[in-house]
């Protein structure tokens, strides 16, 4: 697992409904997420933490979905995805930058 975490940068537009589906694969086979827990947080340079919503979509195919909070302010965040498998092994699979771009329409004053 020395190639983990992989870097995957994300971008979203403030105020839009946003989600991203990931599929975890180990040695060419999907990671079985049955009984696993997945945690994901975005952290602003100021230290503020925003938890991202994680939903396991297909546990036997290793697929899960991330959703941003509707009120996540425009900023460039660091984020990572930590998976604890049902055998108790915890690994950070994904890391990167999450850039939320300020919207023009409906921008708060």
104 vs 25, more confident: 25
Separation of alpha carbons 41 and 53, rounded Å: 9
Domain assignment present for 107: no
Domain assignment present for 106: no
pLDDT tens track for 38-75 = 999 999 999 999 999 999 999 999 999 999 998 899 99
What CATH number does residue 90 fall under?
A: 2.60.40.10
What total of structural domains would you count in the chain? Answer: 1
Domain assignment present for 109: no
* Buried/exposed 71-104: b ≥16 CB within 10 Å, e otherwise: ebeebebebbbbbebeeeeeeebbbbebebeeee
Domain assignment present for 80: yes
Work out the number of other CB atoms within 10 angstroms of the CB of residue 69.
12
Domain assignment present for 89: yes
Separation of alpha carbons 89 and 84, rounded Å: 6
Domain assignment present for 1: no
Strand partners, 39: 82
Under a CB-based contact definition with an 8 Å cutoff, are residues 101 and 12 in contact? Answer: yes
Could you list the residue range(s) of the whole structural domain that residue 82 is in? 6-101
Under a CB-based contact definition with an 8 Å cutoff, are residues 102 and 16 in contact? Answer: no
pLDDT for the residue numbered 102: 92
Domain assignment present for 53: yes
Domain assignment present for 96: yes
State pTM to two decimals: 0.90
Q: How confident is the model at residue 18 (pLDDT cuts 50, 70, 90)?
A: very high
Under a CB-based contact definition with an 8 Å cutoff, are residues 13 and 102 in contact? Answer: no
């Amino acid at each position: 697992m020395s190639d983990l975490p992989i870097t995957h940068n994300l971008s979203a537009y403030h105020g839009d409904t946003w989600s991203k589906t990931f599929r975890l694969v180990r040695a060419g086979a999907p990671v079985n997420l049955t009984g696993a827990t997945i945690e994901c947080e975005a952290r602003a340079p100021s230290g503020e933490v925003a938890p991202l919503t994680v939903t396991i979509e297909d546990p036997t195919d290793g697929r899960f979905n991330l959703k941003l909070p509707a009120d996540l302010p425009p900023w460039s965040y660091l984020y990572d995805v930590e998976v604890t498998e049902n055998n108790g092994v915890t690994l950070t699979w994904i890391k990167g930058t999450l850039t939320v771009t300020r919207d023009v329409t409906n921008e708060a004053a």
